[in-house]
Amino acid sequence: MILAAMTLSASPTFMFPLIAFGTILGIAGTDLVLPAVPTMPNELGGTPALAQMVLAAYAAGTLVGLLTFGELGARYSPRKLLIWSLGLFAFISILAAFSPTLEWLVAFRFAQGAFGSGPAVFAPGFIHGLYSGDKAAAMFGRLGSIESLTPAFAPIAGAFLLQLGGWETSFLVLGGLAVFCAVGSGVYAQLLPDRQDTFKTHRSYLSIVRNADFLRHALSQAFSLAGILIFVFGAPAVMTEVLGGDIRDFILLQICGITTFILASNLSSTLASKFGTERMIFIGTAALLVGFLLILAYVGIGGGGLIVLVPLWILTNGAFGIRGPIGFHQAILASKGDHSRGAALVVAAILGFTAAGTAATASFLSLGWWPLAMASCLAAALAFLCLAVFPRS
C-alpha cells in the first residue's frame, strides 16, 4: 500500500496539476480581481484612474518578478524558489485585503505580481524534466489549454466573490489557494526536477539572447500570442462602448476562440510528430497571419458582425493552438538547459509586446475594430518574419 502511494506521488501525471495550479494563480491575480476594480474608489478613496493602477501595478510587478525569478532559478533550487514564491504571494494577497487606502493597495499589487510570477518561470523546466521529447510538447499544450480557461472563468468567479463579500474577498481567496499550493509544493518538492549542471552553460540573459535559435522561437512565440491578446484586451470596449453591443457578444467570441485553441493545442504535438515541428510552427504562424489579415480586410470594408468575425477568430485561435505549445517548447530547448531564464524571457516578451500593443491602440478604439486588427496583424507579421529572418539551428 505504501509503495503504491509512493508510486502515485512520483507520477508526472500527479505532479502536473500542482504545477499548472501555481501558474493559474498568477493569471487569476488579474482576472479574479478585475470585476472589483470599479468599486474600489468608493471603498478605499481615490480616483477611477488610480483604480486602474491596481491592474497596471500587478502587470509591472509580474514583469520584474519574471526576470528576477529567471535569474534566481538559474542559480538556486527552483523547488525552493517555487515554495517561496507561492508563500510570499499568499502573504501579500492576504495583506492586500486589509489595505487602508487605494495607494496602499497599488503598492501591494506590485509586490503581489512580482511574487506570483515564480510558477510561470519554473513550470517549463519542471515539465521538461518530468516528460521527454514529444510528450513534453504535448504537456505544454495541455498547460496552455488550462491557462486559457482562467481569463474566461476567473472574472465570473470574481463577480460572484464581489457580491459575496466585497472587493477583499478575491484577495483572501487568492491567498488561501496560494497557501494550499505552497504546502503541496513543499510536501512533494523532492519529486520535482531541480537545477541541473546544464544551467551553468549560461551565466546571463545576454548570453541567451545572443542565441539566434532562441530568438527565432522566443520572439515568434511572443509576437504570436501578443497578437491574440491585443485583440482580446480591446474587444470588450469596441463591442460594448463603440458598437453598442452586449458583453455577451464578447463572451461568445471568447468561448469560440478558447474552445478552438484547446482542441488545436492538444493536437499540436501529434501534428508535429507526423509532419515535423518546424513545419507545423511555420504553418501555424502563417495561418495566424492570414486570419488577422482576413479580419483586417473585413473590418476595413465596414464589417463587424459576429457571423463573420467568429469564424475568423476561430481560425486565428486554431492557428495559434497549433504553433503555440510546440513553439514555446522549442524556445525552452533553445535555452540550452537554462530553463528559468529562457522561460522568463519568453513570458516577459509576451507581456511587453502585449502591453505595447494595448497601449498603442487604446486611444483609437473609438474608431472601431480596425486599430485592433491592424495591431494584431502587425504582431502576427513580425512573428512570421522572425521565422524567416533568424536561422534554424
* The three three-digit cell numbers of residue 57, written as one number: 501595478
Separation between Cα atoms, residue 172 and residue 90, nearest integer Å = 9
Binning pLDDT at 50, 70 and 90, where does residue 3 land?
Answer: very low
Asked if the model's pLDDT at residue 309 lies above 60, the reply is yes
Phi and psi, residue 364, nearest 5°: -115, 5
Name which residue leads in pLDDT, 163 or 196: 163
pLDDT for 112 beyond 90: yes
With 80 as the cut, is the pLDDT of residue 266 above it?
A: yes
pLDDT digits (tens, 9 = 90+) for 53-96: 777 788 888 888 888 888 887 778 888 888 899 999 999 999 99
Residue 174 · residue 108 · CB < 8 Å: no
pTM for the whole thing? 0.78
Alpha carbon 232 to its chain centroid, in Å, reads 13
CA distance 21 to 181: 7
- Would you say residue 106 has pLDDT above 80? yes
Query: What integer is the mean pLDDT of 23-30?
Result: 84
- Read off the amino acid at residue 148: S
* Per-residue model confidence (pLDDT) at position 328: 84
- Report whether pLDDT(329) > 70: yes
User: In a 10 Å sphere around its CB, with 0-12 CB exposed, 13-18 middle and 19+ buried, how is residue 12 labelled?
Assistant: middle
Greater model confidence, 198 or 141: 141
pLDDT band at 52 (very low <50, low <70, confident <90, very high): low
- Confidence tier at 133 by pLDDT (50, 70, 90): low
Q: With contact defined as beta carbons under 8 Å apart, do 97 and 175 qualify?
A: yes
Which range among 151-165, 181-195, 256-270, 289-303 shows the weakest confidence by mean pLDDT? 181-195
- What pLDDT band is residue 220 in, cutting at 50, 70 and 90? very high
Mean pLDDT of the 266-290 span: 91
- Determine which helix (DSSP H) or strand (DSSP E) holds 21, and give its type and residue range: helix 12-31
Q: Are 351 and 59 in contact (CB under 8 A)?
A: yes
pLDDT tops 70 at residue 224 = yes
pLDDT at position 166 is 85
What is the Cα–Cα distance from 147 to 267, expressed in whole angstroms?
17
**pLDDT value of residue 1:** 36
Max Cα separation, the chain? 67
